[in-house]
Amino acid sequence: MRVLVTGFEPFGGEKINPSWEAVKELPEEIEGAEIVKHELPVSFKKVREMLPALIDDVKPDVVILTGQAGGRANITVERVAINVMDARMEDNEGYKPEDEPIFENAPAAYFATIPIKRIVKALRENRIPAMVSNTAGTYVCNTAMYTALHHISSNGLKAKAGFIHVPYIPEQVLEKPQPSMSLEMIRKAIEIAIKESLKD
């Protein structure tokens, strides 16, 4: 078994991105499955090019994508990705799409195929604040989730895939009134999500 886990590079003026910082700290193996870690660029164009190639190269059984959702207080497991790019700020390449489809003539949306409710239940049982989210937004995180699910569906692949948003870590909110979560708790949450996704 093999799990592809991704986090994003920093964006929006931040010096770090807790999603990648947590993914980096994951063990090389979880429940006997090899963990393949990859940092994604905050770029609409590059994510659409890189993720399908990465999935084809790694041939994962599970794909767990993670990203920062500054302002959210919980680990949020995303239910759905929608076929639109609509950015309130430029990506790291200076691109700011408005009401553009991620892929032309593709489905309006895809539901996550990881067990979202079971993951949230397991996280709460481990005293980690968690909830299901019904919107991954319309920025690069949603584009990554949609791209992965579209590629898997279009090519008849067996991999389960989904997206998890994580809060800021404490060092990011020293001067702003926003909720945060320790990096260790975020790392543990991703590990639990992987374990639940590896189950039948």
104 is catalytic: no
Catalytic residue among 141, 150, 151, 196: 141
Neighbours of 101 (CB within 10 A): 14
Pairwise CA distance, residues 48 & 93, whole Å: 14
141 is catalytic: yes
Catalytic residue among 21, 151, 165, 191: 165
In 3-state terms the chain splits into helix, strand, coil percentages (rounded to 5) of: 35, 25, 40
78 is catalytic: yes
Pairwise CA distance, residues 52 & 184, whole Å: 29
Helix residue spans in the chain (DSSP H): 18-24, 44-58, 116-125, 140-154, 183-198
Catalytic residue among 21, 78, 191, 196: 78
Residue 85 · residue 78 · CB < 8 Å: no
Active site residues: 78, 141, 165
